Amino acid sequence: MQLIPAIDIIDGKCVRLTQGDYDQKKIYNEHPLEVAKEFEDAGLTRLHLVDLDGAKAGEVKNWKVLETIAAKTSLVIDFGGGIKKEKDVQIVFESGAALATVGSIAVKDEATFVGWLQQFGAEKFLLGADVKEEKIAIGGWLETTDIWIYDFIEKYINHGVQQIFCTDVSKDGKLEGPSIDLYKNIIAKFPALHFIASGGVSNRKDLEDLQEIGCAGAIVGKAIYEGRITLRDLKFDI
């Protein structure tokens, strides 16, 4: 299982939100590149970079941060937040991201997203699914749809998507442990999927549990910044 540290960006700074609430913002570092280099020095090879300003504005904003980290580290970066138009996808790839991370547009505008998959290649996208009680949630998690997570995943696997991460919105940023049962069900239904857990990871045991159920990766954010998982823990081979 691959550990994927997360860096969330507001105003060019490394922050974390609780349950997607911009009013519950905590700044951890003024310089995201420093954080990214710490991860790289710890032996990690991948980075989940989220443009929270972009997510709010509906267009990519912090591409300069992406460009800097991509130029000055060898991390494989997936970048998301505000990718709504083709020009956003192009900016993300031109700025050095290996993968474009998308979520809401895959829910709201299937035709556009499928067009991107065909134009840029399905292997270039990381699909994120926010879930509440097994239904897809959008709009900063304020709106729950009637789309069943399993139907959503199956549809986009059929369109060629290879990597999907799933966040249980009731868990994110709370350090209460990941949604093991949900993830077990997803992996059982789609055993060939490169499935990445996200949200709720609070300690090393959570990572071991996710590995045990067959997750291909785990995105870890707040637990690192709060010292629940140390860079030394991140060096262990899982």
Catalytic residues: 8, 130
Q: In whole angstroms, give the CA distance from residue 220 to residue 207.
A: 9
The DSSP call for residue 134 is T
List CB contacts of 38: < 8 A, sequence separation 6 or more: 231
Beta-ladder partners of 166: 129, 197
Structural tokens at position 194: 């490169």
Backbone angles phi, psi at 219, to 5 degrees: -85, 125
Place of tokens 């790839």: 93
**Cα dist. 18→26, 61, 125, 220 in Å?**
9, 21, 25, 14
Structural tokens at position 22: 């911009």
Q: Are 153 and 193 in contact (CB under 8 A)?
A: yes
Q: In whole angstroms, give the CA distance from residue 218 to residue 226.
A: 17
